[in-house]
Amino acid sequence: MNADARNTIDKVDATFFYIFGISALMLLGITLCMVWFAYRYHHSRHPEPMSDSKGHPLIEIVWTIIPSLLVLSMFWYGWTSFTNLRDIPEDAFALKATARMWSWSFEYENGLTSDRLRVPTGQAIEVSIESLDVLHSFYLPAFRVKRDAVPGMTTRVWFRPEQDGEYNLFCAEYCGTGHSAMISVVEAMPQEAFDRWYNQKQMAQQALELMKKQGCLGCHSLDGAVSVGPTFQNFAGRERTLVLPDASKRTQLADRAYTRRSILEPRAELVEHLPAIMPSFQGRMSDEELEMIVDWLLAQRQEDQKPDGAKIFADKGCGGCHSFDGSKGLGPSLLGVFGHEARVQSEGALRTFIADEAYLRESILNPKAAVVEGYAPLMPEFSDLSTAELDALVEYLKGLKGEHRH
């Protein structure tokens, strides 16, 4: 880490102490004078006023000039600490934060997206902030950083996490029902860990290209389709039955050793019911390349796991407007939403139909196309959901059984 690397905290805190220090002294002085005068010149001790002074020009001038100088110095500290916040280091790692009612999403330059802000420790981070609907504000108390997210405008902040850990990210500009739930986390992690996470897609891409070159994909499908060899889908997540050369069988969950063996000595252990036709790749790729493919194969677990509809529902802030118990929020309750008779306002006309899966999908991707009668077209488009996520969310909604009420 750069030794003289600026952060966003020190100058602001120093200004705080400076202003608070002077303020505390002044408050103390005023209060003490007031209390002392009230005691010393109390009418029981001091029945008649001793002075008929109506003012004193010199004193007035003195106590105009001294505070003026003090506040001007405060202004200067305040201003320089502000310019420090605004002056983004040139080597800052850039990413984009998008605010919507009521969640944050972060997009990295390589296209990676996340709902928590993962950053490398020690590095200056530049965040470009945008809003999809109303005003929000990107607030990191730990780094003294705040900037509004304004529709139609891109605003910027920077900060430098100096220690690994999790830091709160708040929305500080009031944005409606879910305002206080619009919380996320900055996760500062060591550079290597961050790189591994950050490059996951890139590595996967390389591994895929390599496998294509080596011809792996000719026999192994990626999408679960049955082909000559077993599919790669959920490679690490599923158990397989292996037939050993001595015809005995055992079950195996893919680990690193097995995966290497299955590439280097494919005929030693065969997946049940499959012919022994895969050639050995011993010597046909470098060890590095092999590791890359193994890494990729072993990563085929999360990718294929079905996304959790309930989690998506919570993460995207859906609950801010939609209840499960039939109570009316900013949006209609989702209790028994699947299969109920929907009355929607669409293209200026009132339509009635049974809410099917296509309708649910449409209402998530393009909510303004058909708005349930009696509600305002407030809901943002959730077009950033992946197909799998959308499927999971719709499945989840279908599971909310009960008597639907508007």
Partner 1 sequence: MNSAQSEVNTNFLQTPRKGLGSWIFSTDHKRIGILYLCSVLSFFLVGIALGLALRLELFSPGPTIVSAQTYNSLFTLHGVIMIFLFIIPGIPAILGNILLPLQLGAKDVSFPRLNLLSWWLYMTGAALALLSLFGGSGPPDTGWTFYVPFSAITTTNVSLAATAAFVLGFSSILTGLNFLTTIHRLRTPYMSWTQMPLFIWSLYATAWVQVLATPILGITLLLVVLERSLGLGLFDPGKGGDPLLFQHLFWIYSHPAVYIMILPGMGVISEIIPVFTRKHIFGYKAIVFSTLAIAFAGSLVWGHHMFASGMSDTAVFVFSLLTFIVAIPSAIKVFNWVATMYKGSVTLAPPMLFALSFIFLFSVGGLTGLVLGAPGPDIHVHDTHFVVGHFHYTMFGGTGFALFAALHFWLPKVFGRMYNHRVATGAWLILFTGFNILYGSMMIVGMQGMPRRYYDYLPEFTLGNQIATAGSWLLAVGILLMFGNLLRGCLRGEPVGDNPWGAATLEWTTSSPPPLENFIDEPEVTRGPYDFKGVNIS
Residues in 370-389 that interact with partner 1 by CB under 8 A: 375-376, 378
Residues of this chain, 27-46, that bind partner 1 according to CB under 8 A: 27, 30-31, 33-34, 37-38, 41-43, 46
| Nearest-approach distance from CB 80 to partner 1, in angstroms | 7
Return the range that interacts with partner 1 (CB under 8 A); candidates 164-172, 204-212, 274-282, 294-302.
164-172
Q: Does residue 132 touch partner 1 according to CB under 8 A? A: no
Q: Does residue 334 touch partner 1 according to CB under 8 A? A: no
Residues of this chain, 74-93, that bind partner 1 according to CB under 8 A: 74-75, 77-86
Among 177, 199, 233, 252, contact with partner 1 (rule: CB under 8 A): 177
Q: In what order do the strands lie in the sheet with 341-346?
A: 349-354, 341-346, 371-372
176 contacts: CB under 8 Å, gap ≥ 6: 101, 102, 134, 320, 330
Report d(CA 225, CA 387) in Å as an integer: 18
Residue 97's SS3 state is strand
Among 150, 219, 242, 271, contact with partner 1 (rule: CB under 8 A): 150
Backbone angles phi, psi at 130, to 5 degrees: -130, 160
Residue 113's SS3 state is strand
Among 112, 217, 243, 330, contact with partner 1 (rule: CB under 8 A): 330
DSSP class per residue in 390-405: HHHHHHHHHT--S---
Report d(CA 178, CA 166) in Å as an integer: 22
Is the CB of 11 or the CB of 240 nearer to partner 1?
11
Return the range that interacts with partner 1 (CB under 8 A); candidates 152-160, 188-196, 238-246, 250-258.
152-160
CA atoms within 13 A on the CB side of 55: 5
Return the range that interacts with partner 1 (CB under 8 A); candidates 61-69, 89-97, 111-119, 275-283.
61-69
Closest by CA to 332, choosing from 404, 275, 395, 276, is 404
Q: Does residue 170 touch partner 1 according to CB under 8 A? A: yes
Q: Which two tokens stand for residue 243?
A: 């037939």
Among 11, 100, 160, 322, contact with partner 1 (rule: CB under 8 A): 11
Among 88, 172, 222, 388, contact with partner 1 (rule: CB under 8 A): 172
Burial class (CB in 10 A: 0-12, 13-18, 19+), 81: buried
Is the CB of 94 or the CB of 172 nearer to partner 1?
172
Q: Does residue 367 touch partner 1 according to CB under 8 A? A: no
Q: Does residue 51 touch partner 1 according to CB under 8 A? A: yes
